[in-house]
Structure 1
Amino acid sequence: MALMANAALIIIDQQKGILHPRLGPRNNPQAEERMLELLRHWRRSERPVIHVQHLSRSEDSVFWPQQSGVEFQERFQPLPGEHLIQKQVPDAFCSTGLESLLREAGIAQVVIVGVATHNSVESTARSAGNLGFETWVVHDACFTFDKADFFGHARSAEEVHGMSLGNLQGEYATVVDTTQILTAD
């Protein structure tokens, strides 16, 4: 396992709205600290950082553009020179120019962190893998929320997280932890 000199860190939906209590119980309380560790590492090594911001089409969303929940959390504010991708659906590749940005920069490897594991992280990682990018998802730098399955059975955030990672592992991405990434240089 080796981290390429131009591997892109993709940080998904670290906006104020994701902290709203109405989203319910979550897992990985340390996820943001892991994301910040990776972000500091990327900035120090001058690798490309891509911030993904969700602009919801639904007025009742925590990411509706007309309220503060759509704004980045202060600790995840993009710096000059870092890329911003705005999306309206979970997949950060869908109608955003992300694929073009990566291809034009010669980036073949992406490291994905953020929220929610079962939604934007999973859909973005699936597309990245399908498009041929070497895709890593950092499980301890992602989190999700409790959710009922199709049959109405309540599932804990940890169960939802684990199933999403299981969906990705091996077929679309390689699932790793922060330490594996930080020691992959």
Structure 2
Amino acid sequence: MDNTRNITVEDDAALIVIDVQKGFDDEGFWGRRDNPEAEANIAALVDRWQKTGRPVVFVRHDSAKPGSPLAAGAAGNAFKDVVARRRGAGSGPELLVTKSVNSAFYGEPDLDAWLKGAGIGQLVIVGIQTNMCNETTARMGGNLGYDVLFAIDAMHTFDLTGPFGWERTAEELTRATAVSLHGGGFARVVTTEDVLKGA
């Protein structure tokens, strides 16, 4: 990756942990996933943020779609243990945002207002799914003027079928997201190692 080495992570950079929920473990609903290391990398980043007192935002998707494993009140709506046991464990600011659409910027409370109120200008995005809520949040973050770091190995997605019967694997979708965000200037696509070295 071209300009991702020697990343500087600001002292007040916010870690945005998107939709790390139990419902995404339902392979029968979502299909095959990529990156089995995602949760371990998410955990490493949350631990570093909490150790250094940086702000962490936990985002939860409360799906309004009938039958969704992520529906409010469903068992799958709950955070996975890797996140649930870390909530409230740090010394820095922490926020819970709930949403029913892709972007964490269209949730409650208002994420942009909270970040700007705290003077935060840099975001590190991790979570589920790479090409859905993560990508949408990164694009909006870039448009809103934030310096967005997209930790590509601290997230995962699923195989998907689109129009005209086109099918893409989770790995192909991950690469497409990385190229679009990085090449399009919405975010800098980085690795967990890049971020940890800079933090």
* Bin for the TM-score computed over the shorter chain: over 0.9
Contact 2:14 2:122 survives alignment (8 Å): yes
- Residue 15 of structure 2 corresponds to which residue in structure 1? 9
Matched, 1:62 2:69: yes
- Residue 160 of structure 1 corresponds to which residue in structure 2? 173
Q: Which runs of 5+ in 1 are unaligned?
A: none
* TM-score, normalisation: structure 2: 0.90
Shift of residue 149, structure 1, vs aligned partner:
3.0
- Residue 94 of structure 1 corresponds to which residue in structure 2? 106
Task: Give the root-mean-square deviation of aligned CA atoms.
Answer: 1.2
Size of the alignment, in residue pairs? 185
Matched, 1:123 2:136: yes
- Residue 39 of structure 1 corresponds to which residue in structure 2? 46
Output the CA distance in 1 between the equivalents of 2:119 and 2:94: 16
- Residue 96 of structure 2 corresponds to which residue in structure 1? 84
After superposition, the C-alpha distances for 1:18-54 in whole angstroms (9 at most, x for unaligned) are: 1111211011010110000101100110100000000
What SS is found at the alignment partner of 2:163?
coil
Contact 2:14 2:124 survives alignment (8 Å): yes
Comparing 46-55 with 13-22, greater Cα deviation is found at 13-22
Comparing 44-53 with 74-83, greater Cα deviation is found at 74-83
* TM-score, normalisation: structure 1: 0.96
Aligned partner letter, 1:37: A
Aligned partner letter, 2:48: H
Q: Which runs of 5+ in 2 are unaligned?
A: 1-6
| Partner of residue 35 from structure 2, selected from 28, 31, 47 | 28
Q: How does 1:136-175 map to 2 (within 5 A)?
A: 136-170=149-183, 171-175=185-189
Shift of residue 95, structure 1, vs aligned partner:
4.3
What SS is found at the alignment partner of 1:57?
coil
